[in-house]
Amino acid sequence: MTKLWKATILALMLGTAGMAGADTLDMDGTSAQPGSVGPASGTTQASVEANFGSPIAKKPPVGDPPISSWEYDSFIVYFEYDRVIHAVKKR
């Protein structure tokens, strides 16, 4: 019985050895540093426009809570109501 037990364990170990692996996520053109692009979270829309100028485009609010976005040359700013929730660098 011990030989059967050892053979089963060995078969399970060898069977799962080839299953381990990893994928690589390519994040070229993005920044991992929070706040390094555009305005900081919590900034008002009026303050964003005063500091960064008029956006190229403004998308109207969608959903509940209302989320809107402003597009600039190098980044996009997302707002919840009139406050920044995130700014992301454009590719």
Question: In this structure, are residues 6 and 48 in contact, taking their beta carbons and an 8 Å threshold?
Answer: no
pLDDT average, residue stretch 15-26 = 61
Question: For 36-91, how does the pLDDT look when each residue is reduced to its tens digit (9 = 90+)?
Answer: 679 999 999 999 999 999 999 999 999 999 999 999 999 999 999 999 999 999 88
Q: Any idea what DSSP says for residue 3?
A: H
- Using alpha carbons, select from 62, 16, 13, 55 the residue that is nearest to residue 38: 55
Which amino acid type is present at position 25?
Answer: L
